[in-house]
Amino acid sequence: MRALIFSFALLLSCSLYAQPTRVIWGYLKDSATGEPIVMASVKNNQSKQTVLTNSKGRFSLTASPNQLISFSAVGYHFDTIYYSNTYLLQDTLLLHLTSLVTSLENVTVTARGMSRYQLDSIQRHRDFFQAVGSTPLPTISGANYGAGVALNIDRFSKREKSKRKAIDYYANSEQEAYINYRYTPDLVTRYTGLKEDKLIEFMGKSRPSWEWLRKHQNEEDLAYFINDQLKKYPPAK
């Protein structure tokens, strides 16, 4: 009997703490204008699944309660939500990102000819480390500068452990921003001819890793990559 009670208690405990995976739908929009943010990356930080928003800012991905979902788009701050509390009760999520207003008045930039990604990254870097209470880097140098900023730090406590976790998520989101900057809809359309939903589907399935992109800096490398991926993931008819 004691063994039976123990087994029942164990089963009850597992059912109480089970985290069912479900498909969640949502829209990502500009916080100021309400316009949809197209081709933003939405990532489940636990499962590592990444999807892209469509022309209406809509997305869908799988998640379990209490998992962290992050959002990244060129020209915007990052943001995150924990899929819990009121989010679990919503049929469709309505989420917003704040656009970057790049101001480098207090930053000494020694690298010339910096890209849009690098300028955005500097701004995110400064805002992020001010938010966590650390001194931002005053000087940016080197053509391969790749730090960035931008989780919503208000969701983390000021304890050092939480700060380190925030910085880890920030670094991960900055990698997503770099992928978005290099692997663009215009580039993929140029080499595939794909548009709209077929383009989004293909880019979601063929998304290169940050590590691969850092090792392959030329557009020619990306052209070969896209061609190889097109053979693996032919667009649905």
Asked if 204 and 188 touch (Cβ cutoff 8 Å), the reply is no
User: For residue 162, what is the enclosing H or E element?
Assistant: helix 160-182
Q: State which of 97, 126, 148 marks the end of a domain.
A: 97
Same structural domain for residues 119 and 174? yes
Beta bridge partners, 51, equal 42
Taking only the tens place, the pLDDT of each residue in 188-209 is: 999 999 988 899 989 988 999 9
Taking only the tens place, the pLDDT of each residue in 78-136 is: 888 999 888 999 999 999 998 887 544 444 444 445 566 777 777 777 777 777 665 44
Q: Identify the residue with better confidence: 130 or 185.
A: 185
Taking only the tens place, the pLDDT of each residue in 143-171 is: 333 333 344 545 554 556 677 777 787 88
Beta bridge partners, 99, equal 76
Which range of residues forms the domain containing residue 219? Answer: 185-232
Strand order in the sheet with 41-44: 50-52, 41-44, 68-72, 79-82
Residue 21 has pLDDT above 80, yes or no: yes
Confidence of residue 26 (pLDDT cuts 50, 70, 90): very high
Q: State which of 182, 207, 223 marks the end of a domain.
A: 182
Q: State which of 52, 73, 97 marks the end of a domain.
A: 97
